Amino acid sequence: MFRRHSASGLLTYSPEASYNTDWTQAKANGEWVANPRSKGIGDGFPLRGLAAFRLSTGGGELFCVSVLDSCVAVFARNDTSGALKITKIIRDGDQLGSRVVDGLAGARSVAVSASGRLYVAGWRDQAIAAFQKVSATDFAFLG
């Protein structure tokens, strides 16, 4: 893993950074635990087939989509260190508020608007799913 220098943009190897971090762990009983055979939340981290990622307009969040797990993972990003912490996983079929998420099957690309809307294209659904951030860690499914 590498770290990017904020002023020069140069990448340097970082021995502290590794794939064995909070965001590559599985969640079991409310705790993140190592699981190298990831197949999704509860079985492992849901980013098999990582297809695309985008930073939010302010750079405080990273949105990643998985073509195999049909989901979008949201990470909080530390502005100083660049460290990532997972805050939300939204999957095709999840219940968000009163709506069931649809359109994420085969998630292949992601876009973020300046107003905080998140758009994910799901090629198997042949759809674009839209979300609006409603709190620090929650999103509403718009359709």
Residue ranges in the chain modelled with pLDDT below 50:
18-30, 32-44
pLDDT of residue 1: 57
pLDDT of residue 108: 95
pLDDT of residue 109: 96
pTM of model > 0.85? no
pLDDT of residue 81: 83
Q: CA–CA separation, 39 vs 59, rounded Å?
A: 28
Which one-letter DSSP state was computed for residue 137? S
Q: CA–CA separation, 28 vs 92, rounded Å?
A: 20
pLDDT of residue 16: 56
Q: In which region does residue 67 sit, left (phi positive, over 0), alpha (psi from -120 to 50) or beta (all else)?
A: alpha
Q: CA–CA separation, 94 vs 91, rounded Å?
A: 5
Q: CA–CA separation, 85 vs 111, rounded Å?
A: 20
Q: CA–CA separation, 88 vs 107, rounded Å?
A: 16
Which one-letter DSSP state was computed for residue 104? -
